[in-house]
Amino acid sequence: MPGTNRQIRLAARPVGEVKPEDWEHAEAPAAEPGEGEFAGRTRFVSLDPAMRGWLDDRPSYLPPVGLGEVMRAGSVVEVTASNHPRYQVGDLVVGTFGVQEQVVSDGRGTVRIDASVAPPSTYLGALGMPGMTAYFGLLEVGALKEGETVVVSGAAGAVGSLVGQIAKVKGCRVVGIAGGPEKCALLTDELGFDAAIDYRSEDVRKALRTHCPDGIDVYFDNVGGDILDAALARLAMHARVVICGAISQYNAESKVTGPSNYLSLLVRRARMEGFVVFDYAARYKAAAAEMAGWIADGRITVKEHVVRGTVDDFPATLQMLFRGENVGKLVLELV
Amino acid sequence: MPGTNRQIRLAARPVGEVKPEDWEHAEAPAAEPGEGEFAGRTRFVSLDPAMRGWLDDRPSYLPPVGLGEVMRAGSVVEVTASNHPRYQVGDLVVGTFGVQEQVVSDGRGTVRIDASVAPPSTYLGALGMPGMTAYFGLLEVGALKEGETVVVSGAAGAVGSLVGQIAKVKGCRVVGIAGGPEKCALLTDELGFDAAIDYRSEDVRKALRTHCPDGIDVYFDNVGGDILDAALARLAMHARVVICGAISQYNAESKVTGPSNYLSLLVRRARMEGFVVFDYAARYKAAAAEMAGWIADGRITVKEHVVRGTVDDFPATLQMLFRGENVGKLVLELV
For residue B240, the chain A residue with the least C-alpha distance is A273
| Tally of structural domains, chain A | 2
The boundaries of the domain holding residue A182 are 129-278
**Beta-carbon neighbour count of residue B64 at 10 Å?**
17
Query: How many residues in total does chain A contain?
Result: 335
* From A261, A269, A274, residue closest to B266, measured CB to CB: A274
A199 to each of A60, A208, A219, how far by Cα in Å? 29, 11, 16
Q: Say whether both A134 and A262 belong to one domain.
A: yes
Residues of chain B with pLDDT under 50: 1
Whether residue A298 is contained in a domain is answered as no
Contacts of A274 in chain B (CB under 8 A): 263-271
Pick the residue of B271, B276, B277 with the most A CBs within 10 A to test the interface with A by mutation: B271
Q: Say whether both B186 and B218 belong to one domain.
A: yes
**Cα distance from A161 to chain B (closest Cα, Å)?**
20
Pick the residue of B228, B262, B269, B279 with the most A CBs within 10 A to test the interface with A by mutation: B262
| pLDDT by residue, tens only, chain A of 335 residues | 458 999 999 999 999 999 999 999 999 999 999 999 999 999 999 999 999 999 999 888 899 999 999 999 999 999 999 999 999 999 999 999 999 999 999 999 999 999 899 999 999 999 999 999 999 999 999 999 999 999 999 999 999 999 999 999 999 999 999 999 999 999 999 999 999 999 999 999 999 999 999 999 999 999 999 999 999 999 999 999 999 999 888 877 778 889 999 999 999 999 999 999 999 999 999 999 999 999 999 999 999 999 999 999 999 999 999 999 999 999 999 99
Q: Do A243 and B229 touch (CB under 8 A)?
A: no
Whether residue B291 is contained in a domain is answered as no
Q: Smallest Cα–Cα separation from B48: which of B129, B103, B119?
A: B129
Q: Mention every residue, 6+ apart, whose C-beta is less than 8 A from residue A59.
A: B267
Q: Say whether both A180 and A108 belong to one domain.
A: no
Whether residue B290 is contained in a domain is answered as no
B285 to each of A8, B132, B290, how far by Cα in Å? 65, 10, 9
Contacts of B224 in chain A (CB under 8 A): 263
Q: Say whether both A248 and A155 belong to one domain.
A: yes
pLDDT of residue B1: 42
Q: Say whether both A184 and A108 belong to one domain.
A: no
Domain boundary among A262, A278, A294: A278
Pick the residue of A247, A267, A277, A280 with the most B CBs within 10 A to test the interface with B by mutation: A267
Q: Say whether both B141 and B257 belong to one domain.
A: yes
* From B245, B263, B269, residue closest to A256, measured CB to CB: B263
Q: Say whether both B163 and B241 belong to one domain.
A: yes
Q: Say whether both A175 and A105 belong to one domain.
A: no
B150 to each of B161, B241, B248, how far by Cα in Å? 12, 10, 20
The Cα–Cα gap between B285 and B135 comes to: 12
Q: Say whether both B135 and B117 belong to one domain.
A: no
Whether residue B293 is contained in a domain is answered as no
Q: Say whether both B263 and B322 belong to one domain.
A: no
pLDDT of residue B58: 86
Q: Do B262 and A262 touch (CB under 8 A)?
A: yes
Query: How many residues in total does chain B contain?
Result: 335
* From A249, A265, A267, residue closest to B273, measured CB to CB: A265
In single-letter form, the type of residue at position B161 comes to: S
Q: Do B270 and A274 touch (CB under 8 A)?
A: yes
Task: Return contacts of B109-113, CB within 8 angstroms, 24+ apart.
Answer: B112/B86, B112/B87, B113/B76
Domain boundary among B240, B263, B278: B278
Whether residue A294 is contained in a domain is answered as no
Whether residue B287 is contained in a domain is answered as no
Q: Can you point out the beta strands (E) in chain B?
A: 4-10, 23-29, 38-46, 75-82, 92-95, 102-105, 111-112, 149-153, 173-178, 195-198, 216-221, 235-243, 271-274, 304-309, 329-334
Chain A residues with CB-CB distance to B under 8 A? 59-61, 224, 229, 243-246, 249, 255-276, 279
The Cα–Cα gap between A133 and A161 comes to: 12
Domain boundary among B278, B295, B325: B278
pLDDT of residue A2: 54
B330 to each of A35, A160, B124, B231, how far by Cα in Å? 73, 49, 9, 26
Whether residue B285 is contained in a domain is answered as no
Q: Say whether both A175 and A313 belong to one domain.
A: no
pLDDT tens digits, residue range B7-27? 999 999 999 999 999 999 999
Q: Do A260 and B261 touch (CB under 8 A)?
A: no
CATH of the domain at A109: 3.90.180.10
Whether residue B83 is contained in a domain is answered as yes
Q: Say whether both A109 and A192 belong to one domain.
A: no
CATH of the domain at B144: 3.40.50.720
Number of Cβ pairs < 8 A linking chain A and chain B: 101
Pick the residue of B248, B267, B268 with the most A CBs within 10 A to test the interface with A by mutation: B267
Chain B residues with CB-CB distance to A under 8 A? 59-61, 224, 229, 243-246, 249, 255-276, 279
Contacts of A266 in chain B (CB under 8 A): 61, 243-245, 274-276
In single-letter form, the type of residue at position A234 comes to: R
Q: What number of H helices and E strands is found in chain A?
A: 9, 15
